[in-house]
């Protein structure tokens, strides 16, 4: 049964014309190269008033250094908020450069310092490489906060899709290690639960477009280094596995109603609220995974307003 009839009218042309994509270990280098090339070719000019520099954070426990892009506007302020942004891509694709327009918008519009690490991707690096890279980037931010003009009480973690799942997992790891802290979680259709890959009761109205069950199984298998859905998966790999969600920072969670992750995202939001964590949750009708790629769509504009307002409040930049 197709969910095509549920698509918002101004999303239909884009999503119905998308070419199929099959992920495989052998093809990953070529797929990554093609996607990055396309992203760079389609990228609009970036605002010249935003400085973009590259830094390296020392890896943890002998791991490789973590490459990061830092976005900020010139300022003498010492109390600016910061956003640690983790890119999406199913844990197997993506780079911080592909999100440069969003990073610049946050830096310019919220006077925030945006840190975007290039965490190691699967299957070449399985868990916990990705979350340890993100943790190393956060440690670097804390060590360099004064130089960057960052108020460490106003650091948010953010991400979309796998980046949202990684952001949620990092928030758990930060809570449990008790070395640092986040003030806010910004989770956009986060990829939270490997057990979605083995669910037999999931409606076909979820996940027909872009990120489907086959891609989801590939992504989780690559990250975990084993078949997903087992009994021994760490919550720092799949945040939905955490038994205790108390003590986490306030969260903004959003998803499209046609997204494969809709049910796991709704359940995570419910569990956060039950644990006493403030949550703002949005589900956008007629929207599949990645719906905001259609910038002019009504639902994208609504999401952009909701998300920006929530993030600005979360970091005290409203």
Catalytic residues: 161, 259, 289
As beta bridge partners, residue 116 has: 69
Of 188, 183, 185, 186, residue with least CA distance to 81:
183
| Distant-in-sequence, close-in-space partners of 200: CB < 8 Å, separation ≥ 6 | none
Identify the residue whose tokens are 């440690």.
Answer: 139
Output phi, psi for 217, to 5 deg. Answer: -65, -40
Burial of residue 48 (number of CB atoms within 10 Å: 0-12, 13-18, 19+): exposed
Q: What gap in Å lies between CA 143 and CA 71, rounded to an integer? A: 17
């Amino acid at each position: 049964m197709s969910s095509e009839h549920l698509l918002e009218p101004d999303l239909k042309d884009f999503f119905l014309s998308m070419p199929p994509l099959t992920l495989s270990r052998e093809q990953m280098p070529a797929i990554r190269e093609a996607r990055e090339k396309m992203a760079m070719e389609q990228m609009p000019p970036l605002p010249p008033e935003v400085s973009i520099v590259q830094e390296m954070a020392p890896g943890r426990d002998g791991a490789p250094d973590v490459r990061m892009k830092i976005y900020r506007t010139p300022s003498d302020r010492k109390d600016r908020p910061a956003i640690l942004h983790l890119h999406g891509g199913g844990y197997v694709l993506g780079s911080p450069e592909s999100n440069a327009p969003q990073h610049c918008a946050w830096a310019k519009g919220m006077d925030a310092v945006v840190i975007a690490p290039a965490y190691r991707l699967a299957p070449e690096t399985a868990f916990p490489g990705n979350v340890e890279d993100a943790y190393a980037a956060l440690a670097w931010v804390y060590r360099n906060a004064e130089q960057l003009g960052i108020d460490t009480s106003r650091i948010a973690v953010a991400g979309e899709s796998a980046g949202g799942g990684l952001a949620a997992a990092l928030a758990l790891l930060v809570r449990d290690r008790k070395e640092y802290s986040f003030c806010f979680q910004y989770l956009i259709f986060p990829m939270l639960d490997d057990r979605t890959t083995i669910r037999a009761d999931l409606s076909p109205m979820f996940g027909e477009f872009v990120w489907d069950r086959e891609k989801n199984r590939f992504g989780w298998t690559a990250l975990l280094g084993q078949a997903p859905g087992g009994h021994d998966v760490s919550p720092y790999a799949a945040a939905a596995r955490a038994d205790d969600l108390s003590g986490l920072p306030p969260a903004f969670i959003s998803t499209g109603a046609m997204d494969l992750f809709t049910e796991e995202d709704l359940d995570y939001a419910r569990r956060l609220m039950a644990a006493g964590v403030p949550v703002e949750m949005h589900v956008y009708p007629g929207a599949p995974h990645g719906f905001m790629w259609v910038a002019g769509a009504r639902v994208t504009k609504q999401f952009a307003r909701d998300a920006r307002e929530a993030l600005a409040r979360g970091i005290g930049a409203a």
